[in-house]
A and B are shown apart, each in its own frame.
Chain A
Amino acid sequence: MADYSIWVVEYARVKEFAKGILLYGQWNTGTTIAPYCYAVVKGEGKTIVIDTGYNHEEFGMVLAQGYGVSDWQPADVVLPRIGVDPAEVDIAVLTHNHFDHAGGVEMFPNAHIYIQERELSRYLWAAGLPDRMQWLTSAVDPDLMLWLVQRLKDGKLTVLSEETEILPGMRLVPAHDTHTAGCQYVTIENERDGRWVMAGDNCYVYENFTGLGDGRFNPIGLVFGSVERCVVTMEEMWQYVGQDVTRIVPFHEQKLWETFPSKRFDDTLHVAELSLGAGEQSRVGA
């Protein structure tokens, strides 16, 4: 087993996020704050980001205006808060190819990128469908895909088709046909404090697991794959961490800041410190 430090950095938020997107079936229950986050993991001589946020240039700016995203900060602002330079990031895991998770990958110029093969191959399938069905690819940015082609030429892209251990104790697990066709989540087995799951959008908030008080999972409300597969994947993650919901890390959960030692910065964005490896100093004054 290995010894990893884990932080979650908030890089933007949506102040009026429809609850029906976070929780399937909660269509008319108003809005809530949804932070936009990614995880930073250090250990085994590597620095890893799990998802990358998005870049506020070009479509990012349009997105912010039209979609309700505010308070965005780039990686070279939020990562130094935990003592990380984006250029030092060795690995970027893309849990899926949506703009708010994969769209910031260019901010990590030296990172080797990991993505699921199925996330890409379904675009070939979709291209054979009528125009009226192209909603299926509506949250994907062609510009990112063109950039990934270059990344492959540079030897900095690995496409996975099965569960893979990329570092000791760190595995990328396919979650196909869930939130997207080729979703994946990340499991971390830490020597000091046990198991973690970086869920990506396989859950949005803790309530996806704790439900509405009836003891049942309540899956996410935005699914490009199958809701059934979402629930099965939630069970996989739930069992992996011994049914401890705080060991599953959703990237749109504002309760992260009260669940773990955290710090709120002058721009109102947060950092949560989930796990500190041997010899590491707290970045949040804990």
Chain B
Amino acid sequence: MTAIAALPEQELLRRYERYKSLTLAATAALILAQPVGDLRDRAEALHEECRAGGAGEGPQGAACSAAAADLAELLRLAAAGEDTGALLERARASHRRLRREIWDVQPCEYVPCCVSDRHDH
């Protein structure tokens, strides 16, 4: 039997930072009617990176991959001028799933943290 190794913590956080930054920029671009082609390419690259890790990265890797895939698809539709409405809820759901994984390793994502003496980060 082969144990499934979790995605290393630093790598998970790195991917999440990238995903979060892309999601904020993508949603801002959609609201402000800005071009999304470059963001789409970067989201697809992130998805490829996540997918390359495969099942060996466990539920954290899977959550990263799903969230990046939905973001890339959202941006692909937007770049093509197609309706993104149906994908928004799916993107929210995959983002929440990824964030739950993040909270296990980064309990003070939101600043300012007033209780940093109670955890290690």
Q: Please list the residues of chain A having a beta carbon within 8 angstroms of any beta carbon in chain B.
A: 14, 16-18, 21, 31, 58-59, 62-63, 65-68, 99, 117, 120-121, 123-124, 126-127, 129, 131, 134-135, 137-143, 145-150, 152-153, 157, 159, 222
Contact, CB under 8 Å: B109 / A126: no
| A18 to B92 Cα, complex, angstroms | 33
Contact indicator per residue, chain B 31-71, by CB within 8 Å of chain A (1) or not (0): 11010000100100000000000000000000000000000
CA separation between A126 and B88, bound complex, in Å?
22
Q: Report the bound CA distance from A65 to B108 in whole Å.
A: 10
Top 8 closest A-B pairs, CB basis? A127-B25, A145-B27, A123-B24, A142-B23, A120-B28, A66-B107, A123-B28, A68-B114
> What distance in Å separates the Cβ of A127 from its nearest Cβ neighbour in chain B?
3
B113 touches A67 (CB 8 A): yes
CB distance from A227 to the nearest CB of B (A): 15
Q: Please indicate which of the listed interface residues B21, B111, B118 has the most CB atoms of chain A within 10 Å of its own CB.
A: B21
Query: What residue of chain B has the Cβ atom nearest to residue A16's Cβ?
Result: B114
Distance from B83 Cβ to chain A, minimum over Cβ atoms (Å)? 9
Query: For chain B residues 67-117, which have a beta carbon within 8 Å of chain A?
Result: 84-85, 88, 91-92, 95-96, 99, 103, 107-115
Report Cα–Cα, A14/B109, bound state, in Å.
17
Contact of A62 with B107 in the complex, beta carbons under 8 Å? yes
In chain A, what residue has the closest Cβ to B22?
A127
CB neighbours of A149 from chain B (8 A): 27, 30-31, 84, 88
Q: Of B88, B108, B111, which contacts A146 at CB under 8 A? A: B88
